[in-house]
């Protein structure tokens, strides 16, 4: 990495004498219900004295399985419901959307996306709507990234197409921050990986390119927002080599800072922010 890691304190100021830290779960602790973990993805509470992994006390329990087999889908929690859309079933790309209600432990099919999507930039809940930006699309000869931005309204159970991203985008991550949609891009259909960052403003339906991350996070980084900053971790390249890279983006200065890497590299991992920890 070659860069000095820094700890961000609860006031979002760099601490000069400390390093950011990753924690593994104590032997006596587990993680809570998988569905609850997913539903907590949008939670932003507590300080940022340290970044942590697996420090939530509780147990795992099985919930009702998805009605269909999927991988590389997009998911987000909205109004206490977990939405899972798109992905691959082992044979074809999908645009299906399913909603999971933890209160009834049941899944409901919702309106499908305008088209199939696979291994995109995730899904984000913002202002009561669900957004899916970019992703791989099945073309006649080979899959290619696309630039579409789709908005799902759960009240009307309808999808609306918004302004397209200025580039083809896939393999990245997305997050809601300060009422806007931030999307990182790792794949744009050309050789190699990218480190692009774009922000979409729902007020005027426009995209703006921002400072790219210091390093490309490649395929499948994890993302989360803590105290008004965007954290991006991990990823993998075409060879399958995974990364433990962790960077944080500050929208007030449009700049990135490299922090302590994860203890073990990860790619295409599930992530959430809970009690101020990623």
> Could you read off the pLDDT of 256-272 as tens digits, one per residue?
999 999 999 988 888 88
Spatial distance between the Cα atoms of 31 and 55, rounded to a whole number of angstroms: 7
Per residue in 79-121, pLDDT (tens digit) is 999 999 999 988 889 999 999 999 999 999 999 999 999 888 9
The secondary structure of the chain in percent helix, strand, coil, rounded to multiples of 5, reads: 5, 40, 60
Residue closest to 21 by CA, chosen among 272, 260, 277, 224: 260
Edge-to-edge order in the sheet of strand 74-78: 74-78, 81-88, 93-101, 106-110
**CATH number assigned to the domain covering 65-171:** 2.120.10.80
Question: Does the model's pTM come out above 0.75?
Answer: yes
**What per-residue confidence (pLDDT) applies to 268?**
85
Per residue in 176-214, pLDDT (tens digit) is 999 999 999 988 888 778 899 999 999 999 999 999 998
Which whole-number Å values give the CA distances from 35 to 61, 77, 101, 102, in the listed order? 9, 10, 9, 7
**What per-residue confidence (pLDDT) applies to 220?**
87
Ranges in the chain annotated CATH 2.120.10.80: 65-171
- Indicate the pLDDT class of residue 161, thresholds 50, 70 and 90: very high
Spatial distance between the Cα atoms of 186 and 198, rounded to a whole number of angstroms: 12
CA 174: distance to chain centroid?
A: 5
Find out whether 107 and 140 touch, Cβ atoms under 8 Å. Answer: no
Beta bridge partners, 198, equal 183, 209
- Residues across the chain: 278
What number of CA atoms fall less than 13 Å from residue 230's CA on the CB side? 30
């Amino acid at each position: 990495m070659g860069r000095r890691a820094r700890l961000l304190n609860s006031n979002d100021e760099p601490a000069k004498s400390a390093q950011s830290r990753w924690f593994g779960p104590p032997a006596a602790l587990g993680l809570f219900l998988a569905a609850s973990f997913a539903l907590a993805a949008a939670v932003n509470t507590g300080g940022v004295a340290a970044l942590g992994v697996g420090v939530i006390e509780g147990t795992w329990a099985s919930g009702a399985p998805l009605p269909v087999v999927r991988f590389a889908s997009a998911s987000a929690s909205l109004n206490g419901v977990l939405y899972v859309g798109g992905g691959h079933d082992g044979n074809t790309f999908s645009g299906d959307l399913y909603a999971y209600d933890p209160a009834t432990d049941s899944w409901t099919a919702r309106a499908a996306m305008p088209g199939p999507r696979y291994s995109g930039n995730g899904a984000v809940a913002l202002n009561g709507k669900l957004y899916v930006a970019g992703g791989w699309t099945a073309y006649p000869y080979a899959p290619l990234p696309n630039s579409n931005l789709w908005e799902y309204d759960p009240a009307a159970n309808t999808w609306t197409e918004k302004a397209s991203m200025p580039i083809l985008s896939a393999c990245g991550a997305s997050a809601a921050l300060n009422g806007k949609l931030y999307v990182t891009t790792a794949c744009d259909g050309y050789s190699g990986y990218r480190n692009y960052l774009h922000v979409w403003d729902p007020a005027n339906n426009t995209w703006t390119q921002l400072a790219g991350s210091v390093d490309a996070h490649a395929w499948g980084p994890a993302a989360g927002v803590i105290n008004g900053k965007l954290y991006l971790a991990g990823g993998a390249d075409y060879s399958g080599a995974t990364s433990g890279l962790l960077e944080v983006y500050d929208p007030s200065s449009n700049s990135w800072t490299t922090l302590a890497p994860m203890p073990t590299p990860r790619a295409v991992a599930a992530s959430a922010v809970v009690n101020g920890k990623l």
